[in-house]
């Protein structure tokens, strides 16, 4: 662990975890599917996890720990990688600028 392959996998895992967590928490998804799922889950435990980037990011990062750690990583190493990926994805979320949402403007076709 610690070679160039590890660091490349680690960086990819951070970006992938951020992307999936951001999709779940802050985007409507293709065809509004993610927004529909979020609304259906409401205040359930899973619904609440989809309202918080830190919560969603933690669970989303879990499978990426295996990707980074290799075939059968030792449990303590796996836990540290998991938390590092989740933490780095959360830092990305905190430091990236808030996107600008442009809403269509209604045009008044009435006479002046």
For 42, which DSSP code? T
Q: Which domain holds residue 69?
A: 4-93
Structure tokens at 8: 């490349």
How many angstroms separate the Cα of 16 from the Cα of each of 24, 35, 108? 12, 20, 43
- In the chain, the percentage of residues whose pLDDT exceeds 70 is 91
The answer to the question of residue 12 being in a domain is: yes
The answer to the question of residue 109 being in a domain is: no
The answer to the question of residue 71 being in a domain is: yes
Tell me what pLDDT residue 81 has. Answer: 94
The answer to the question of residue 111 being in a domain is: no
User: pLDDT digits over 10-51, tens only?
Assistant: 999 999 999 999 998 888 888 889 889 888 888 888 888 888
When divided into structural domains, the chain yields a total of 1
The answer to the question of residue 110 being in a domain is: no
The answer to the question of residue 87 being in a domain is: yes
Q: Would residue 30 be called left, alpha or beta, if left means φ above 0 and alpha means ψ between -120 and 50 degrees? A: beta
pTM: 0.78
Tell me what pLDDT residue 88 has. Answer: 96
Tell me what pLDDT residue 4 has. Answer: 83
Tell me what pLDDT residue 110 has. Answer: 64
Q: Would residue 83 be called left, alpha or beta, if left means φ above 0 and alpha means ψ between -120 and 50 degrees? A: alpha
The answer to the question of residue 54 being in a domain is: yes
The answer to the question of residue 64 being in a domain is: yes
């Amino acid at each position: 662990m610690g070679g160039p392959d590890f660091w490349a996998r680690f960086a990819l895992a951070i970006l992938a975890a951020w992307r999936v967590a951001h999709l779940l928490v802050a985007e409507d998804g293709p065809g509004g599917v993610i927004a529909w799922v979020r609304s259906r889950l409401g205040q359930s435990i899973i619904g609440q996890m989809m309202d918080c980037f830190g919560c969603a990011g933690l669970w989303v990062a879990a499978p990426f720990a295996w990707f980074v750690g290799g075939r059968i990583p030792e449990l303590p190493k796996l836990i540290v990688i998991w938390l590092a990926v989740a933490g780095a994805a959360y830092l990305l979320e905190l430091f990236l600028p808030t996107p600008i949402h442009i809403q269509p403007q209604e045009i008044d076709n009435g006479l002046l």
